Chains A and B, each alone.
Chain A
Amino acid sequence: MKLDVDVKKLLGAVDVPADWVGIREVYEAHTPRMIRDGVPVVNASSATHGIMVEVLVNGQFGYFGTPDMTPSGISKAARSAFKQAEIASKHAVFEFDQSARPAHKGTFTSPFIKDRNSLSAGNLNEILLEAYNHLKVSDKIVSASTLCQVIESNFKFVSSNGSDIHQDFLMFEFDLSATAADGSNQQTRTFGGMRGTCRQMGMEYFDKYEIYANATRIGEQAIELLDADDCPTGEMDLVIAPDQMMLQIHESIGHALEVDRILGDERNYAGWSFVKLEDFGTLKYGSDLMNITFDPTLESEYASYAYDDGGLKATKEHLIKDGVLVRGLGGQESQIRSGLEGVANFRASSWNRAPIDRMANINLEPGSLSFDQLIAEVEYGVYVESNKSWSIDDYRNKFQFGCEYGRLIENGKLTKTLKNPNYRGVSTPFWNSLKGVGNEETFGIYGTPNCGKGEPNQVIRVGHASPACLFDKIQVFGGV
């Protein structure tokens, strides 16, 4: 049951002498459904609903996240937030003013054709169960699962300086997974890596025939991997599919460009960054083929929106242009602290967490080569799809990724299937080795629901879209 809350009335209930007051209401309902090994393991729906009251006192923000959305509850929350801010203001990292929360009015609604009620719980279970049957192509598939999670989120933000924003989101996450095993030889194949298939759209996504075809392919590829050769070890060309480019962009560009990290806020948890404030405008991050954008406008991408959680209007901006670092991922607070230009990326995971600098949609713009042309460029190398392992250091330099599925490339042609393809590198040398960027036909839209950061910790949704890309002389290796 969703309570109807009048946030403007609640703003009027705040009775503390703060320099600025903001009220952010978040309602979010998650409805996951999962079939594993032929039986339902999850059919659930849960909702969170609450308000964050934020006040500015003597240059310091203080907050109170509360599920009590009555005028008296908000008044009490504001008084406690005021006291927190007042005490902390004597020791503040930075003295802010109202310009940290610019006033905007507007709305946003996710684009969709079929709303969430157009598919019943029964219909979705039938599709997921039949998809499971298509995954189970052999007795060697020891486990298979199908998953769909629908997410509805409503966001309202009003403030004492006139912000009035209302955004409604409809999203889903979808996965197909098959594990083939022969003793301790185990191989798993999924639909786009670790929950990589997540979009902002309606139930029109669920074309059951396309889903069943993909399920059959995934099951067959899991079996194929069992008997495949291990990935070779050595320095070689590497072609990366969009569902792995997603995480490559995320870890070695997105996090590195978060301005709050560069300012040191995250040093105790997520880490710092090799990027320094003085690098913007000068650092050659990658080759001339590299164009990275912050794009909250791409339709159906997972983290599209019109305003961030501080009320800043979101627009598409280049972060890296022709290989040169031009702009950071800093919201209004970070822009004021650093003096850098930024983007509208001040985001919170829910009503019970304060916004910080986050990724949203961070994309690699398409180039000119078809997939066949990318492969034709390679004399000897590896093509990889779908992430299964990821790790990078606290400065976002030394990364290592593992993928589900590989193909050997010999003399410009894809040849045999490879299992356990892994690669490692260091961020800027890696991106400077980018020597081929796929065209729009190779472009894939993915994302992740599980980007973790912040103290207290916050997990947030991000989107990443990319063409297939070719890299020169990368350290590639296989399994044990």
Chain B
Amino acid sequence: MEQIFNNLSESLFSDLKKGEEVILSFSGENSQFIRFNNGSVRQTGLVDDAEIELKFISNGRICGGGFTVSGNLDVDLKRGRQEILRMRQESSQIPIDPFLVLPTNSGSSHEVKKSDGLKFENSVDAILPAMAGVDFVGILANGKMFRGNANSVGQKHWFETDSYSLDYSLVTPDHQMVKGSFSGTDWDQKGYEEYVERSKRKLVLMERKPIQMKTGDYRTWFESAAVSDFLGMFSWNGISEASLRQGCSGFGKMRHNDTRLSPKFSIVEDFSPGFCPKFNSDGEVAPNSLALIENGMLKNTLVSSRSAKEYGLSSNYAESGEYLRSPKMSTGTLSHDDVVKTLDKGLFLSNIHYLNWSDNPGGRITGLTRYACFWVEGGEIVAPIETMRFDDSFYRFFGDQLVDVEDSQTVNPEVGTYGGRSLGATTCPGILVDSFSLTL
């Protein structure tokens, strides 16, 4: 793939005329997808896919183009050259963009992560025996992923990784479920089997008769996976500078009214673990670490170079969508072993589901409990709960209602596969909240 990327970018850049610039972004994968249901294979297949996105800049205008990379250089060069011609012609018709960002050469990078992954032909036999005897449903995504970026002023980045993720649920006969997500680069059969055993032990708890909760406010523990979902909402009309400027961010109270979250809440964008490339789709390299909220106070928003130019700010080289790519939330003092005892009486929520802003300016988020969620009383897990809807503000559960934060973090890998397999992860601890509102 890297050779294709190099050949295409060099050939296409050599066709440019004076005053024209191009940024080329490459994304590809050689993936295996196996879908399981009832402990058996529902669908199985392979996907080879790669695409190039182009930004063509000329005379103060910018046009975008893109095409599928077939792997045949003649075909792909013809596609690329036709795109350049089309964009050259179109750029004479469209208005000037006063905020377009010209490419620069700030240095190149090359990162190839080799691993001893799960061979495609071995996947079914590696996974299914450990799941014997349980109702297992989920997806294996496995194989190589590629990202590249090059521009016509000589900058070039390449990132390649080989990884797998088995995202799954185990289900009791009464439809109670436990979630698991086993992912990595080198396949570890023993580690996998031990992970599944832990899920199976958790499933035993789900066999107790579920409790129907009443609506109202409850002291609540959120496991790291649930906190990760809340932090995901910051990427959607939240931490983005453009969202704030355009009046559609839940962070407005922090920006305009100096509202603060709890001093126990801090979050940074941290690229040091290498879950995803540091370069964005314009080839700009983000700092290793960027403090976003520090001890409850908004320190930085995510600022793309376009937003920086439009609003007169400094860029921190966020993606154009200004979403979190590798967030890390700071730890607190609560040991996971002490969570149930410290919670004493309330909700233990392992996962949450289908979040949406119910009142974006107020920071209010609605969603539902899902998977292993329990009622706790007297410092003991009593039973799982029936699905409940919640509706509460992050200004409360990350703010004045935040009692404590777990003393260790969990890495929650991005397992989404819309369009293609995603990269990135959210690293965060669990949180204990004094009051959290169930509404239906």
Q: How far is the CB of A347 from chain B (nearest CB, A)?
A: 14
Instruction: Pick from A157-165, A318-326, A385-393, A439-447 the stretch touching chain B.
Output: A385-393
Which chain A positions have C-beta within 8 A of B79?
Answer: 1
Instruction: Pick from A63-71, A146-154, A208-216 the stretch touching chain B.
Output: A63-71
Binary CB contact string for chain A from 262 to 283 against chain B (1 if under 8 A, 0 otherwise) = 0111011101100000000000
8 Å CB interface, A46-89 against B? 46-50, 60-70, 73, 77, 80-81, 83-85, 87-88
Q: Are A264 and B38 in contact (CB under 8 A)?
A: yes
In this assembly, does A297 line the interface, its C-beta being within 8 Å of a C-beta of chain B?
A: no
| C-alpha spacing A14/B47, complex, angstroms | 17
| C-alpha spacing A479/B391, complex, angstroms | 11
Q: How far is the CB of A49 from chain B (nearest CB, A)?
A: 5
8 Å CB interface, B374-392 against A? 387-389, 391
Which chain A positions have C-beta within 8 A of B179?
Answer: 268
Binary CB contact string for chain B from 53 to 67 against chain A (1 if under 8 A, 0 otherwise) = 100000001111111
| C-alpha spacing A92/B37, complex, angstroms | 9
Q: Are B387 and A44 in contact (CB under 8 A)?
A: no
Chain B contact patch, size range: 35 or more
Binary CB contact string for chain B from 122 to 145 against chain A (1 if under 8 A, 0 otherwise) = 001100100000000111010000
Q: How far is the CB of B320 from chain A (nearest CB, A)?
A: 9
Using known A-B contacts A398-B368, A400-B391, determine if residue A61 contacts B43 with beta carbons closer than 8 Å. yes
Using known A-B contacts A121-B93, A393-B353, determine if residue A184 contacts B252 with beta carbons closer than 8 Å. yes
Using known A-B contacts A64-B47, A269-B139, determine if residue A45 contacts B358 with beta carbons closer than 8 Å. no
Q: Are B33 and A93 in contact (CB under 8 A)?
A: no
Q: How far is the CB of A229 from chain B (nearest CB, A)?
A: 15
Which chain A positions have C-beta within 8 A of B248?
Answer: 143, 179, 186, 188
Centre residue among B45, B120, B418 by max chain A CB count within 10 A: B45
In this assembly, does B416 line the interface, its C-beta being within 8 Å of a C-beta of chain A?
A: yes
Binary CB contact string for chain A from 435 to 453 against chain B (1 if under 8 A, 0 otherwise) = 0000000000000000010
In this assembly, does B50 line the interface, its C-beta being within 8 Å of a C-beta of chain A?
A: yes
| C-alpha spacing A400/B419, complex, angstroms | 28
Q: Are B247 and A400 in contact (CB under 8 A)?
A: no
Q: Are A129 and B257 in contact (CB under 8 A)?
A: no
Which chain B positions have C-beta within 8 A of A422?
Answer: 358
Instruction: Pick from B69-77, B198-206, B264-272 the stretch touching chain A.
Output: B69-77
Q: Are B66 and A47 in contact (CB under 8 A)?
A: yes
Using known A-B contacts A46-B66, A264-B137, A457-B417, determine if residue A39 contacts B90 with beta carbons closer than 8 Å. no
Centre residue among A46, A60, A422 by max chain B CB count within 10 A: A46
Using known A-B contacts A129-B95, A398-B387, A480-B393, determine if residue A265 contacts B137 with beta carbons closer than 8 Å. yes
Using known A-B contacts A63-B46, A67-B49, A68-B70, determine if residue A42 contacts B38 with beta carbons closer than 8 Å. no
A-B contacts at CB below 8 angstroms, number? 266
Q: Are B49 and A65 in contact (CB under 8 A)?
A: yes
- Chain A residue nearest to B243 (CB atoms) is A143
Q: How far is the CB of B57 from chain A (nearest CB, A)?
A: 12
- State which of A81, A90, A392 has its C-beta within 8 Å of the C-beta of B45: A81
- Chain A residue nearest to B38 (CB atoms) is A93
In this assembly, does B114 line the interface, its C-beta being within 8 Å of a C-beta of chain A?
A: no
Q: How far is the CB of A284 from chain B (nearest CB, A)?
A: 22
In this assembly, does A394 line the interface, its C-beta being within 8 Å of a C-beta of chain B?
A: yes
In this assembly, does B312 line the interface, its C-beta being within 8 Å of a C-beta of chain A?
A: no
Q: Are A93 and B41 in contact (CB under 8 A)?
A: yes
| C-alpha spacing A380/B137, complex, angstroms | 47
Which chain B positions have C-beta within 8 A of A39?
Answer: 95-99
In this assembly, does B362 line the interface, its C-beta being within 8 Å of a C-beta of chain A?
A: yes
Which chain B positions have C-beta within 8 A of A353?
Answer: 47
Which chain A positions have C-beta within 8 A of B296?
Answer: none
Centre residue among B46, B50, B128, B364 by max chain A CB count within 10 A: B46
Q: Are B68 and A50 in contact (CB under 8 A)?
A: yes
Using known A-B contacts A39-B98, A93-B40, determine if residue A184 contacts B93 with beta carbons closer than 8 Å. no
Q: Are B247 and A143 in contact (CB under 8 A)?
A: yes
Q: Are A267 and B169 in contact (CB under 8 A)?
A: yes
Which chain A positions have C-beta within 8 A of B67?
Answer: 1, 46-49
| C-alpha spacing A41/B306, complex, angstroms | 10
Using known A-B contacts A85-B44, A91-B40, A352-B47, determine if residue A179 contacts B387 with beta carbons closer than 8 Å. no
In this assembly, does A402 line the interface, its C-beta being within 8 Å of a C-beta of chain B?
A: yes
In this assembly, does A313 line the interface, its C-beta being within 8 Å of a C-beta of chain B?
A: no
Using known A-B contacts A43-B63, A84-B44, A459-B418, determine if residue A480 contacts B362 with beta carbons closer than 8 Å. yes
| C-alpha spacing A242/B51, complex, angstroms | 38
Q: Are B387 and A183 in contact (CB under 8 A)?
A: no
| C-alpha spacing A127/B364, complex, angstroms | 36
Q: How far is the CB of A386 from chain B (nearest CB, A)?
A: 15
| C-alpha spacing A390/B356, complex, angstroms | 6
Q: How far is the CB of A50 from chain B (nearest CB, A)?
A: 6
Binary CB contact string for chain A from 387 to 430 against chain B (1 if under 8 A, 0 otherwise) = 00111111101101010000000000000000010101010000
Which chain B positions have C-beta within 8 A of A7?
Answer: none
- Chain B residue nearest to A53 (CB atoms) is B45
In this assembly, does A343 line the interface, its C-beta being within 8 Å of a C-beta of chain B?
A: no
Q: Are B66 and A44 in contact (CB under 8 A)?
A: yes
Which chain B positions have C-beta within 8 A of A263?
Answer: 37
In this assembly, does B332 line the interface, its C-beta being within 8 Å of a C-beta of chain A?
A: no
In this assembly, does A256 line the interface, its C-beta being within 8 Å of a C-beta of chain B?
A: no
Using known A-B contacts A394-B370, A458-B418, determine if residue A67 contacts B48 with beta carbons closer than 8 Å. yes
Which chain B positions have C-beta within 8 A of A268?
Answer: 137-139, 167-169, 179
In this assembly, does A292 line the interface, its C-beta being within 8 Å of a C-beta of chain B?
A: no
- State which of B33, B42, B93, B360 has its C-beta within 8 Å of the C-beta of A456: B33
Using known A-B contacts A84-B45, A87-B124, A424-B440, determine if residue A456 contacts B38 with beta carbons closer than 8 Å. no
Binary CB contact string for chain A from 244 to 268 against chain B (1 if under 8 A, 0 otherwise) = 0000000000000000000111011
Q: Are A142 and B247 in contact (CB under 8 A)?
A: yes
Q: Are B366 and A400 in contact (CB under 8 A)?
A: yes
In this assembly, does B410 line the interface, its C-beta being within 8 Å of a C-beta of chain A?
A: no
Q: How far is the CB of B142 from chain A (nearest CB, A)?
A: 11
Q: Are B168 and A122 in contact (CB under 8 A)?
A: no
| C-alpha spacing A60/B45, complex, angstroms | 11
8 Å CB interface, A2-51 against B? 3, 36-37, 39-50
Q: Are A68 and B35 in contact (CB under 8 A)?
A: no
Q: Are B70 and A400 in contact (CB under 8 A)?
A: no
Q: How far is the CB of B129 from chain A (nearest CB, A)?
A: 10
Q: Are A93 and B95 in contact (CB under 8 A)?
A: no
Q: Are B167 and A183 in contact (CB under 8 A)?
A: no
Q: Are A68 and B64 in contact (CB under 8 A)?
A: no
Q: Are A389 and B252 in contact (CB under 8 A)?
A: no
| C-alpha spacing A90/B439, complex, angstroms | 46
Centre residue among A122, A143, A456 by max chain B CB count within 10 A: A456
Q: Are B367 and A391 in contact (CB under 8 A)?
A: yes
| C-alpha spacing A265/B137, complex, angstroms | 7
Using known A-B contacts A179-B246, A459-B418, determine if residue A46 contacts B72 with beta carbons closer than 8 Å. no
Binary CB contact string for chain A from 368 to 395 against chain B (1 if under 8 A, 0 otherwise) = 0000000000000000000001111111
Q: Are B247 and A45 in contact (CB under 8 A)?
A: no
- State which of A402, A424, A426 has its C-beta within 8 Å of the C-beta of B439: A424
- By Cβ-Cβ distance, the 3 closest A-B pairs, closest first, are A46-B66, A44-B64, A480-B362
Using a CB–CB cutoff of 8 Å, the interface residues on chain B facing chain A are 31-35, 37-38, 40-51, 53, 61-72, 75, 78-79, 82-83, 86, 90, 93-99, 120-121, 124-125, 128, 137-139, 141, 167-169, 171, 175, 177, 179, 245-248, 252-253, 256-257, 353-364, 366-368, 370, 387-389, 391, 393, 416-419, 421, 439-440
* Chain A to chain B contacts (Cβ below 8 Å), 11 pairs: A44-B66, A46-B51, A73-B71, A83-B121, A88-B44, A186-B248, A186-B252, A267-B177, A398-B440, A475-B440, A479-B362
In addition to A50-B49, A267-B171, 17 A-B residue pairs with Cβ atoms within 8 Å of each other are A39-B99, A40-B94, A41-B97, A47-B67, A62-B45, A65-B45, A67-B69, A92-B41, A179-B248, A265-B35, A268-B138, A268-B168, A389-B366, A400-B440, A420-B359, A455-B33, A455-B35
